[in-house]
Amino acid sequence: MPNSVRGPGGSSRPVRSTVGVRGETGPFVSRRAPGTRRTRGAGLSVDQRGRRNRWGLAGLITLLVLVVGRLVIVQGIDGGAYANAAEQDRLRNYTIAALRGQVLDRDGNPLAYTVDASRVVADPEVVKDPRRTALALTTLLDVPVPELTEKLSQDRRYVVLASRVPPETSDAIEELELSGVFLEDDPERLYPAGAVGGQVVGFVGREGAGLAGIERTFEDQLSGTDGKRTVEVGSGGHPIPSGIDESTPATDGHDVTLTLDQDLQFVTDQRLGQACSDGATTQASAVVLDVRTAEVVAMGSCPGYDPGRYSETDPDLLGNPVVSDVFEPGSIMKAVTLAAAIEEGKATPDRVLTVNGHIDAGDRVVTDAHDHAPVDWTVTGILAKSSNVGTIMLAREVGDAVLEKYLRAFGVGEATGIELPGESRGILQESGEWTASRAANVPIGQGVSVTTLQMASIYQAIANGGVRVEPRIVRSVTSPGGKVTPTAEPESTRVVSESTAEDLAYMLEAVVGPGGTAPLAQVEGFRVAGKTGTAQRANPETGSYAGGGYITTFVGFAPADDPQYVVAVDLERPTSSAEGGQVAAPVFADIMRAALTGRAVVPSGTPRPEFDLTG
């Protein structure tokens, strides 16, 4: 029976069972055969399919245009930038280290200089075979293979394999052309004299900058200016032979010539070392000045240090006590007190005073080294015997304010301006604030503090006819091109008249003569003038003089009839009561002897005068 479809009104009519054929009045009927899938859009008309194809083609063309446009931009407009970026990625910039200038003694002997050396570094990411590279370097660098292999295997872009490698080793490494292994400038600073003059010369730190002494003061002149090298490298990090290689050369540092005499400096350091080995002296310092120019010919302290091994030294010893440490100098200051008295017309060398063994000073009593009955001493005898009481008597005639004026004129309480870092001004309280006891102590060298250099400067003025010249330790600076620039002339100041200076020189010679306190300061063949000092040392543990021991000093010049050199010596002796004439004077004599003979100074041509010490 034929199929039928109910029409409107419930009537039915026969239809054909042909699949996919639209009926005359009924809907389109589609049937799937078993096992077939339905495809989306299978029912679109031809027009619809055409429109879709046209839109797809348009989109494809648009995408193609965008891609081609981008290629044009990349290869054309931005091509130069990308090429430059690629080139920059192959460029390496290296610092060309400037060679630091030399530090020389007065005769041109090197105290510090720099030699070429290299730092061997690596980029582990570029190293192809860490162990094989380590095997190639181990003998050259004297570093074990396991240590090198570990460094070359690190997850880093930069490791240091060795420092301060000499040029011959660097050349051998370059010839290996090891992937990822490079050389950098790493100049080495050398101090051929070792500890001789070390406190003056100073040292440089790991970054190559001066940290002490002349190395620090003249950092700008010594350091120079680094250069730069830009090279194009290949995949292994090594320069491409035909690639970019541009350099800006380094400008080496200037040389600094000092006033030091290396030979005399050696003797000074050796003698101070002997002093420090006596079991009682914990620190010893000395300085030698040229009388006419105030140039420092030698300067040192014990204990000292070797600048080349500064990192192994106690940091507390890395200064220069000659210019930085202050102490109460004791009786060497009596020369200033008597200079003021003579210059002010209060004394002459042969004036006689009756001197008791003690004198009241406010709430204190000051005595001579040993209390004694009244003695008639000349002013020369007061200095030769180092009488505290006689000196205080003359200071009271001068007055506190006038004495302070002379102390400051001689440089006490003011830095000398020497070309060294860390210089102390010393300590000198204004006279308006002096108590009665301090007014008695200052004239004899207590209650006032100086450096070893200031102490020497006082006696340089006396030996130089009353004219004080500011001490200097640098003679000249020489550019890499050889231009020598002398340092500026130091300032000179007349402190006392020439006649007063002559009277003082005569009186100071009596100190070293018969009946004086320092016969051990004599130097065979030469007349010597000078003064001993023995001052109480402040005890840092108690904050007082109790248990502090003494500072012993001697300062003098020779030949007394034609002064050439001043030598100042001070010894810190916390457990000893020995006086300056016993322990400091012999050190002075040995250093002065070396200074005079080393520079071929002619022995004194006149005999030592006779001295009237008593009335």
**The one-letter amino acid at 126:** V
CA torsion angle 503 507 512 517 (round to 10): -160
Name which of 613, 533, 534 is nearest 355 in CA terms. 613
Q: What CA–CA distances, in Å, run from 6 to 3, 9, 12, 16, 22?
A: 10, 8, 4, 14, 17
CA distance 300 to 266: 9
User: How many other C-beta atoms are found inside a 10 Å radius of the C-beta of residue 413?
Assistant: 18
CA distance 81 to 73: 11
Q: Where are the alpha helices (DSSP H) in 427-497?
A: 436-441, 452-463
Cβ atoms of 449 and 427 closer than 8 Å: yes
Helices 452-463 and 334-343: crossing angle, nearest 10°?
Answer: 40
User: How many other C-beta atoms are found inside a 10 Å radius of the C-beta of residue 194?
Assistant: 16
CA distance 446 to 465: 26
> Pairing between strand 364-367 and 358-361?
antiparallel
Active site positions, annotated: 331
Place of tokens 């070309």: 419
Query: How many residues belong to the chain?
Result: 615
**The one-letter amino acid at 543:** G
> Pairing between strand 474-478 and 484-486?
antiparallel
Q: Which residues of 303-382 form beta strands (DSSP E)?
A: 352-355, 358-361, 364-367, 375-378
Cβ atoms of 410 and 457 closer than 8 Å: yes
- Residue 52 CA to its chain's centroid (Å): 84
Name which of 200, 203, 324 is nearest 265 in CA terms. 200
**The one-letter amino acid at 223:** S
